[in-house]
Amino acid sequence: MPDASLTATTPVSSDCIANVAAGAVAETPHDMSVYGLFMHADIIVQIVMVILIVMSVRCWSIMIGKRFALRKLNRRAEKFEEAFWSGESLDKLFQRVRKSVPDPMMTTFTAGMEEWQTGVAAGIPKSESLQASLKQRVERAMMLAIVREMQALERGMTFLATTGSSATFIGLFGTVWGIMNSFTAIAAMNNTSLAVVAPGIAEALFATAMGLVAAIPAMVGYNVFSTGLARYGDRLNNFSAEFSAIMGRHLDGQEAAEKNAASNTASAATSAAKRVGT
């Protein structure tokens, strides 16, 4: 029986080792799809991606809601302004508006009419100071209604601005964290091959891409809808000014009518006195 120490051993070449390693790498290819990049990323990077996905979904829901809301409000405002300038009595229009579904334009008109009717319930004020006070109360009531309605319409705009300004940096944080892990893995494996480095860097850069996907639409949506809301707010303010002007003309007309009536009464009394004297 031959001695085990004398048994010849077959040398293994470096080429064989390289082929085996290459075969092992080929057997387990890295999934470079979106799902694969997410699933193979570090837990911190995954949390960053989930946050960005939630922010993006929330931003799109806000933008879609604002789009339909502004279109509906402008359409109803046009119909209301047509009725307002049609010559219909404001009292009749007020009674009809109170029975309809409210919107900011109608709420502003209702607030002004309610304050006006309260002020003239006992009759139109005679003195100029009381008339000026009534006009100020009407304007203040309409302004407060506009402020409340615009605050309600602007809900969600802060979130759009926050997402547009911060989503990129949140994604960048995930990228930095992923690249740090990639370099740590490179140091541990002592291998700088591109096949080893690429998957980790791709996972890290995917976080920045998601940050841009969330930030760009949010910033564009914020600029577009802030402009649309500002125009609608100007429309409400213009209507408030027009309504106040109508109320002012009504007060001035009432005052002029009273002065004419008083003048006619005085003239009639003077004429009667002259006739009595003659």
Q: pLDDT for 184-237, tens place per residue?
A: 777 777 766 666 666 677 777 888 889 999 999 999 999 999 999 999 999 999
Confirm whether pTM is higher than 0.85: no
CB 229 within 8 A of CB 70: yes
* Integer Cα distance of 207 and 200 in angstroms: 11
> At residue 103, does pLDDT exceed 50?
yes
Q: How many domains does the chain have?
A: 1
| 32: in domain | no
CB 181 within 8 A of CB 55: no
Chain-centroid distance of CA 235 in Å reads: 18
Burial 109-124 (b: 16+ CB within 10 A, else e): bbbbbebbeebeeeee
If pLDDT is split at 50, 70 and 90, which confidence band does 96 have? confident
> At residue 10, does pLDDT exceed 50?
no
Mean pLDDT, the chain, rounded, equals: 79
| 17: in domain | no
pLDDT in the model for residue 249: 83
pLDDT in the model for residue 2: 45
3-state secondary structure of 167: helix
The closest of 6, 3, 5, 45 to 199, measured between CA atoms, is 45
Output 247-252 pairs: Cβ under 8 A, ≥24 positions apart.
247/112, 247/116, 247/134, 247/135, 247/138, 248/135, 251/124, 251/131, 251/134, 251/135
pLDDT in the model for residue 5: 43
If pLDDT is split at 50, 70 and 90, which confidence band does 18 have? very low
Ranking 29-43, 99-113, 163-177 by mean pLDDT, the lowest is: 29-43
pLDDT in the model for residue 19: 43
| 95: in domain | yes
Ranking 56-60, 94-98, 112-116, 167-171 by mean pLDDT, the lowest is: 94-98
High-pLDDT (> 70) share of the chain, %: 72
pLDDT in the model for residue 4: 43
The closest of 59, 116, 122, 70 to 91, measured between CA atoms, is 116
> At residue 32, does pLDDT exceed 80?
no
User: Structural domain of residue 197, as residue ranges?
Assistant: 37-257
Ranking 26-30, 79-83, 130-134 by mean pLDDT, the lowest is: 26-30
Which residue reads 């607030």 in tokens? 111
When pLDDT is averaged across residues 71-99 and rounded to a whole number, the result is 89
| 18: in domain | no
| 89: in domain | yes
Which residue reads 């390693």 in tokens? 21
Find all residues with CB under 8 Å of 102, minimum gap 6, and list them: 110
- Taking 3-state DSSP, the helix, strand and coil percentages for the chain, each rounded to the nearest 5, stand at 85, 0, 15
| 214: in domain | yes
When pLDDT is averaged across residues 139-166 and rounded to a whole number, the result is 94
When pLDDT is averaged across residues 64-78 and rounded to a whole number, the result is 94
If pLDDT is split at 50, 70 and 90, which confidence band does 177 have? confident
| 16: in domain | no
| 270: in domain | no
* Integer Cα distance of 119 and 123 in angstroms: 8
If phi > 0 it is left, if psi is from -120 to 50 it is alpha, else beta; for residue 29 that is: beta
